[in-house]
C-alpha cells in the first residue's frame, strides 16, 4: 500500500506538471485513467520490490530477526526509490520528448549527451522535482517504520502451521506473477494495453516510466533520422493526403483479411495450380492488384498495415512496440467521424496477439471474438472458431448494424496446424502444400459468406476489400525468397461490378486505405504511409525484413541495410535474386531517395508521438 500510494502521488505530480498536454479530458475519464494506471503500477511495484517480496515469503525462521527485517527494509526502500526516480525524471523531461522515457534513456546517460553539463542544468531548472522526490522518499520511510511485526518463532516442519505457510507462499507468488503479467489475459501486459482505458489523450499518464523502460529493453528503439531537411523530405515523400474536389459516397466498407493466403495459391500465382476456385471467380468481377505485396510476414504486422496504412519498418511489430500507444490513422477512426458504425471481427481467442486491444486503440467501437461468439461447439481446438460458422456469424452482426458501417473481418482456419472440420476431411484439393486443404476450406467458407451476404439489405451498398494478412508456405523458388514470399492477392469488389479490371503496377497493403478512401470520394486530409493507386503516378512497396529495408518498384528492388551501400535487384528478370549490383541509374537513385525519405518520415513520426491524425 505504501508503494501504491507513492506511485499514485508521482502520477498526480506528473499530471499537474504537464497538464497543458492533457487538456480536454473529463473528470470521469481521469478516474478511469487512475484505475487503469493501477494495472501498470502493479507491474512496476512487483518488479521493483521483487527481492523484498521473495525474501518476505520464504518460509525461514530468520524472518523475525531484526537483522533480517533491516535487510527487507533496505530492499523495499531502495528498489522502490530507484523505480520512482525514473517517474520523477519524466515529470520534467516529458515536455521535451513528449513521451515516457524508454530504454534509450540509458544511451543518453551512457555518453551520447554531455550529462556532466545537462544534469546540473536539469537540477537547477527543476529543483522542485528533486524536492518533491525527497519528500516522497521521506513519506515511504516514515510509513514503513509504522509497520509493526509480532515477534514469534517456529520450526518449519510438516504441521498445520507449516502447511498454512506454504499456502501463503504459493498464493503470494501467484499474485506476484499475476501482477507482472497484468492479469489473466492471453498475452502479458504490454504498451498496447493502455488502449483499454479508451482515453487516448491520457495514455502517458496511465503508464509509468519504470514500466516503459523495462518493457522496451528487449525492443528495438527507433533512431531519429536526418537524411533530408523538412522541405526536401516533403518533396520526396509526403504522407499527408488530401483528395480534393470529390463527393464522399457513404458506402459500407468491409475489409476481409484472409489468413496466410499467398498469391501462389490463387490463379494470380501462375503456377498452374490454384486452391481457391471461389476467390479466382470473384476476382474476375473486381479490381485486381496483380502485383501486390504484404508489408510484413506476420498477422501482427499485416493488420495495422491494411487497416491503418501503418507498416512495421523495424524489428518489432508496431503492435508490440512502445509506439503502439499513440493515436493512428485507421479505417475506423476516419469513417467513424463520418457517422459510420465500426467493428473488428475475429473468431480467435480473445487476446490473441493483442488484436482486441489494438482494435480499440485503432478506433473500432465493437470487437467480436471467440468470447462473443459464445459457442464452443464450433471451436477448432487451437485458434478459435472455424471460418465457415464465424463468417456466417459476422453477416448476422452486420445485419444488425446501422448503415453506413465499416467492419474488418479476419479469418483464421488457414493457420497452422492446418486442420479442417471433420465433415470436410478429404473434400478439398491436396497438393504440394501442407496447408492446401485448409486453404480450400477457407475459400469455401468465403463462398458461403458471399452467398449469404447477397441476401442482406446492405450488400448492394458495400465496398469489399479482400487481402491476405501475409503469405505462407511455398513450393516455388521465387515465392520462397525474400521478395516472392511477400506476394499476396489484393482486390476490391462491388456487387454492381463498377470496380473491374487489373492494376498491374506495384501495390501493397499500406496502399489499401488511401485507395479505398479516394474511391469513396473522401475529401478531407489524413495521414497515410501508403499511396492511392487511383491518383499516384509513382509508387513503391516498402517493408523491413531481417534488419534490411526492401523497396520495390514494378520490377526493381532496392535492398539496403543502414550504414552500408544499397544494392539493386531486377526481380522481374532475376527471379532467383542472384544478381545484386550497385545503383547506377537516375531511376534507381530516385527510388533509393524515396526509401530514405520514407524511413526518415516513419522513424521521426513514431518517435515524435505518432503524427498520424
DSSP helix, strand, coil percent of the chain (3-state; round to 5): 50, 10, 40
Question: Does residue 18 lie within any of the structural domains?
Answer: yes
Percent of the chain past pLDDT 70, that is, above it, reads 95
Specify the higher pLDDT residue, 425 or 153: 425
Same domain, 288 and 345: yes
CATH number, position 334: 3.40.720.10
- Calpha distance 240→525 (Å, rounded): 7
Q: Highest-confidence range of 221-225, 272-276, 342-346, by mean pLDDT?
A: 342-346
On whether residue 570 sits in a domain, the answer given is: no
Q: What are the residues whose beta carbons fall under 8 Å from the beta carbon of 447, sequence distance 6 or more?
A: 278
pLDDT of residue 547: 87
Ramachandran sector of residue 351 (left: φ over 0; alpha: ψ -120 to 50; beta: rest): left
Closest to 16 in 3D by CA, of 81, 88, 124, 80: 88
**Helices 50-57, 27-48: inter-axial angle, 10-degree rounding:** 60
Whether 383 and 348 have beta carbons less than 8 Å apart is answered as: yes
Domain assignment of residue 108, given as a range: 2-216
Beta bridge partners of 494: 463
pLDDT of residue 579: 87
User: How sure is the predictor about 158, in pLDDT bands with cuts at 50, 70 and 90?
Assistant: low
Rounded average pLDDT over 559-565: 91
pLDDT bin (cut points 50, 70, 90) of residue 596 is very high
Q: Are both 110 and 200 inside the same structural domain?
A: yes
Domain identity same for 259 and 202: no
Mean pLDDT of 80-98: 89
Residue 290 within a domain: yes
Tell me, yes or no, whether 332 lies in a domain.
yes
Asked if 460 and 453 count as a contact pair (C-beta separation under 8 A), the reply is: no
**In the predicted structure, residue 157 carries a pLDDT above the cut 60:** no
The tens digit of pLDDT for each residue in 281-310 reads 999 999 999 999 999 999 999 999 999 999
In this model, does residue 526 exceed pLDDT 60?
yes
Integer-rounded Cα radius of gyration of the chain: 27
**Residue 240 reports pLDDT greater than 80:** yes
Average pLDDT estimate for 165-175: 89
Residue 154's pLDDT is 52
6: confidence class by pLDDT, cuts 50, 70, 90: very high
Burial, 493: exposed, middle or buried (Cβ in 10 Å; 0-12, 13-18, 19+)?
Answer: buried
In a domain, 170, yes or no: yes
Q: Are residues 453 and 524 in the same domain?
A: yes
Domain end call among 216, 239, 259: 216
| Model pLDDT for residues 343-354, shown as the tens digit of each residue | 999 999 998 888
Tell me if 562 is assigned to some domain. no
Please indicate, yes or no, whether residues 307 and 420 belong to a single structural domain of this protein: yes
Contact 345, 397 (CB under 8 A): yes
Could you tell me if 417 and 302 lie in one domain? yes
Please give the torsion angle defined by the CA atoms of residues 512, 514, 520 and 524, in that order, rounded to the nearest 10 degrees. 160
Strands 490-494 and 286-289, bridge-based pairing: antiparallel
Residue 233 dihedral angles phi and psi, to the nearest 5°: -65, -50
H/E stretch holding 466: strand 462-468
189 & 146 share domain: yes
State whether 282 and 170 are in the same domain.
Answer: no
Spatial separation of the C-alpha atoms in residues 318 and 69, rounded to whole Å: 44
Split into its structural domains, the chain has a count of 2
pLDDT classification of 201: cutoffs 50, 70, 90:
confident
pLDDT at residue number 217: 84
Tell me whether strands 292-293 and 462-468 are parallel, antiparallel or unpaired. unpaired
193 and 284 in a single domain? The answer is no
243-262: average pLDDT = 96
Distance from C-alpha of 304 to C-alpha of 394, rounded to nearest angstrom: 21
- Give a yes or no: residue 237 inside a domain: no
The pTM (predicted TM-score) of the whole model is: 0.83
Q: Which of 194, 216, 238 is the last residue of a domain?
A: 216
Same domain flag for 285 and 331: yes
Task: Confirm if 288 and 472 have CB atoms less than 8 A apart.
Answer: no
> Is pLDDT larger for residue 147 or for residue 160?
147
Task: With respect to residue 51, please indicate whether it lies within any of the assigned structural domains.
Answer: yes
Tens of pLDDT, residue by residue over 31-57, are 999 999 999 999 999 999 999 999 998
Alpha carbon 49 to its chain centroid, in Å, reads 30
Using one digit for the tens of pLDDT, what is the confidence trace for 351-370?
Answer: 888 899 999 999 999 999 99
pLDDT of residue 108: 54
Distance CA 100, CA 87 (A): 9
Same domain for 427 and 365 = yes
Give the pLDDT score at 525.
96
Rounded CA-CA distance 276/444 in Å is 8
Average pLDDT, the chain: 91
Contact 330, 362 (CB under 8 A): yes
Quick one: 276 and 326 in the same domain? yes
> Alpha-carbon distance 354 to 190, whole Å?
9
Element (H, E) at 9: helix 2-17
**Is 613's pLDDT higher than 50?**
no
Amino acid at each position: 500500500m505504501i508503494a501504491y500510494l507513492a506511485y499514485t502521488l508521482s502520477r498526480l505530480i506528473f499530471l499537474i506538471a504537464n497538464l497543458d498536454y492533457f487538456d480536454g479530458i473529463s473528470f470521469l475519464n481521469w478516474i478511469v485513467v487512475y484505475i487503469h494506471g493501477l494495472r501498470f503500477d502493479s507491474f512496476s511495484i512487483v518488479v521493483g520490490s521483487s527481492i523484498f517480496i521473495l525474501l518476505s515469503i520464504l518460509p525461514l525462521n530468520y524472518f523475525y530477526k531484526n537483522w533480517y527485517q533491516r535487510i527487507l527494509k533496505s530492499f523495499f526502500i531502495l528498489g522502490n526509490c530507484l523505480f520512482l526516480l525514473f517517474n520523477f525524471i519524466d515529470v520534467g523531461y516529458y515536455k521535451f520528448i513528449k513521451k515516457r522515457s524508454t530504454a534509450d534513456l540509458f544511451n543518453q546517460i551512457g555518453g551520447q549527451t554531455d550529462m556532466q553539463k545537462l544534469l546540473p542544468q536539469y537540477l537547477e531548472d527543476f529543483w522542485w522535482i528533486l524536492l518533491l522526490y525527497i519528500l516522497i522518499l521521506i513519506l515511504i520511510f516514515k510509513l514503513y517504520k509504522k509497520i509493526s511485526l509480532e515477534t514469534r518463532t517456529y520450526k518449519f516442519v510438516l504441521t498445520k502451521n507449516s502447511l498454512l505457510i506454504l499456502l501463503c507462499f504459493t498464493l503470494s507468488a501467484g499474485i506476484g506473477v499475476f501482477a507482472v503479467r497484468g492479469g489473466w489475459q492471453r498475452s502479458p501486459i504490454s504498451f498496447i494495453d493502455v488502449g483499454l482505458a479508451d482515453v487516448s489523450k491520457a495514455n502517458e499518464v496511465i503508464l509509468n516510466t519504470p514500466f516503459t523502460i523495462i518493457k522496451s529493453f528487449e525492443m528495438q528503439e527507433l533512431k531519429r533520422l536526418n537524411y533530408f531537411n523538412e522541405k526536401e523530405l516533403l518533396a520526396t515523400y509526403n504522407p499527408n493526403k488530401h483528395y480534393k474536389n470529390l463527393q464522399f459516397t457513404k458506402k459500407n466498407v468491409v475489409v476481409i483479411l484472409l489468413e496466410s493466403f499467398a498469391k501462389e495459391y490463387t490463379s494470380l500465382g501462375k503456377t498452374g495450380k490454384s486452391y481457391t476456385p471461389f476467390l479466382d471467380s470473384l476476382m474476375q468481377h473486381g479490381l485486381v492488384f496483380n502485383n501486390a505485396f504484404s508489408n510484413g510476414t506476420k498477422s501482427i504486422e499485416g493488420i495495422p498495415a491494411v487497416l491503418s496504412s501503418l507498416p512495421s519498418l523495424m524489428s518489432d511489430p508496431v503492435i508490440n512496440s512502445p509506439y503502439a500507444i499513440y493515436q493512428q490513422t485507421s479505417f475506423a477512426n476516419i469513417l467513424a467521424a463520418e457517422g459510420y458504425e465500426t467493428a473488428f471481427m475475429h473468431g480467435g481467442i480473445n487476446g490473441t496477439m493483442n488484436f482486441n486491444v489494438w482494435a480499440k486503440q485503432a478506433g473500432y467501437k465493437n470487437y467480436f471474438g471467440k468470447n462473443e461468439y459464445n459457442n464452443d461447439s464450433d471451436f477448432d481446438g487451437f485458434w478459435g472458431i472455424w471460418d465457415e460458422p464465424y463468417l456466417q456469424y459476422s453477416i448476422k452482426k452486420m445485419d444488425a448494424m446501422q448503415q453506413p458501417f465499416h467492419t474488418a473481418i479476419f479469418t483464421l482456419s488457414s493457420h497452422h496446424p492446418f486442420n479442417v472440420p471433420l465433415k470436410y476431411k478429404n473434400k478439398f484439393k491436396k497438393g504440394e502444400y501442407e496447408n492446401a486443404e485448409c486453404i480450400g476450406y477457407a475459400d469455401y467458407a468465403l463462398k458461403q459468406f458471399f452467398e449469404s451476404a447477397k441476401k442482406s439489405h446492405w450488400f448492394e451498398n458495400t465496398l469489399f476489400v479482400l487481402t491476405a494478412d501475409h503469405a505462407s508456405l511455398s513450393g516455388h523458388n521465387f515465392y520462397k525468397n525474400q521478395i516472392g514470399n511477400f506476394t499476396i492477392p489484393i482486390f476490391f469488389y462491388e456487387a454492381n461490378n463498377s470496380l473491374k479490371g487489373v492494376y498491374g503496377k506495384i501495390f501493397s497493403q499500406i496502399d489499401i486505405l488511401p485507395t479505398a478512401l479516394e474511391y469513396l470520394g473522401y475529401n478531407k486530409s489524413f495521414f497515410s504511409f501508403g499511396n492511392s493507386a487511383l491518383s499516384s503516378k509513382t509508387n513503391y512497396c516498402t517493408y523491413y525484413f531481417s534488419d534490411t529495408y526492401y523497396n520495390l518498384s514494378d520490377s526493381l528492388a532496392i535492398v539496403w541495410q543502414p550504414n552500408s551501400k544499397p544494392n539493386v535487384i531486377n526481380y522481374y528478370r532475376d527471379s532467383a535474386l542472384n544478381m545484386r549490383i550497385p545503383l547506377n541509374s537516375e531511376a534507381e537513385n530516385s527510388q533509393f531517395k524515396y526509401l530514405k525519405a520514407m524511413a526518415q518520415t516513419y522513424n521521426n513520426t513514431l518517435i515524435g508521438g505518432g503524427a498520424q491524425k
